[in-house]
Structure 1
Amino acid sequence: MQIALGKASGAALLRVGRELVRCTPDNLAEIHCDVYLEQAESGLGVTCHITCPQCPQASVLRPRELLRRAVLDLVSTFEHNGTRITGLRLISLVGTDKKITTSVAPLEPSGASAA
């Protein structure tokens, strides 16, 4: 799965997050999600990891819901302070069948070059 978005913003990350959640099977054993955030002013970046290792079978929340909440947390934490979100990478989804899915969802910076 490859997702390309024109505007890197909290709304864009939410769209990517929704797509990742939509493509996430409910029988996941583990979730590993990698989000790269770039500070608009300084250009410094930080990588955040969303990990739900061994999602409990008896959990009230399904893996999809855990991933959705984690993405929402990232948006609310970073978007309000001027952080530009430049990329979201879904490292791996390890299902109960032990198959590993890897995908990249790049976010292009908004207003890349002004003439």
Structure 2
Amino acid sequence: MVKATSTGEDEREAAVAPCCPPLTAPDLPAEDARTMATMFKALGEPIRVLLFNRVAAHPDGEVCVCDLGDLGVGQPTVSHHLKKLRDAGLVLSERRGTWVYYRVAPGVLARMGAITR
């Protein structure tokens, strides 16, 4: 049998602040988590991150596919990756004559930022 000793250790442990503040934000709803996972999965390819960045950063708020610049891959590959971004709900597209214009889908950037809140 071990005899308990009073060394003041319990009082010192109680006086030490916890290592981390407690979580105060509510959990992310399951549906939002699925949506976010789909978006981040689509951004799992570096070329898609580059494409999304170019669309999001364009000063006009939208960009013609012809103005996306050289990404080191052919046009069919660019179109494939833009389709993946569109399917994930990250970008919207609109055909105007022979050209397709892309813009970030409404609320996407806010949803991405809300994941850390």
Do these two structures clear the TM 0.5 threshold for a shared fold by scoring above it? no
TM-score by length of 1: 0.25
Where is the helix percentage greater, Structure 1 or Structure 2? 2
**Highest RCO, 1 vs 2 (Cα 8 Å, sep ≥ 6):** 1
